[in-house]
């Protein structure tokens, strides 16, 4: 069992995701998610706070690390 963790700009990280966790449930990333994310980002940014995004991917067995490159989009 392997887990890859990544951090970075929220708008970059979230575009690489298909799901997010809320109240213990995996929900699809959709337009509503992006709108709420932008609202929260602006709230903190207007107060001079830095905002980071985090994501993870779990998989079994070795994986091709090229799947996680910045160019993979």
What pLDDT was estimated at residue 49?
95
Say whether pTM exceeds 0.85. Answer: no
| All residues at 6 or more sequence positions from 56 whose CB lies less than 8 Å from its CB, including other chains | 3, 4, 5, 6
Which tokens go with 6? 């990544």
Q: What is the DSSP string of 39-66?
A: HHHHHHHTTT----EEEEEEESS---GG
The residue to which tokens 């995701």 are assigned: 17
CB 48 within 8 A of CB 7: no
pLDDT of residue 73: 46
> How confident is the model over 19-33, as pLDDT tens digits?
999 999 999 999 999
pLDDT, block means (10 residues), the chain with 73 residues: 90 90 93 93 93 88 59 49
């Amino acid at each position: 069992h392997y887990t890859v963790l990544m951090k970075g700009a929220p708008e970059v990280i979230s575009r690489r995701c298909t799901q997010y966790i809320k109240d213990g449930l995996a929900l699809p990333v959709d337009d509503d998610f992006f709108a709420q994310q932008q609202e929260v980002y602006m709230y903190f940014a207007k107060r001079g706070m830095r905002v980071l995004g985090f994501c993870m991917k779990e998989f079994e067995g070795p994986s091709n690390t090229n799947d996680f490159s910045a160019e993979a989009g």
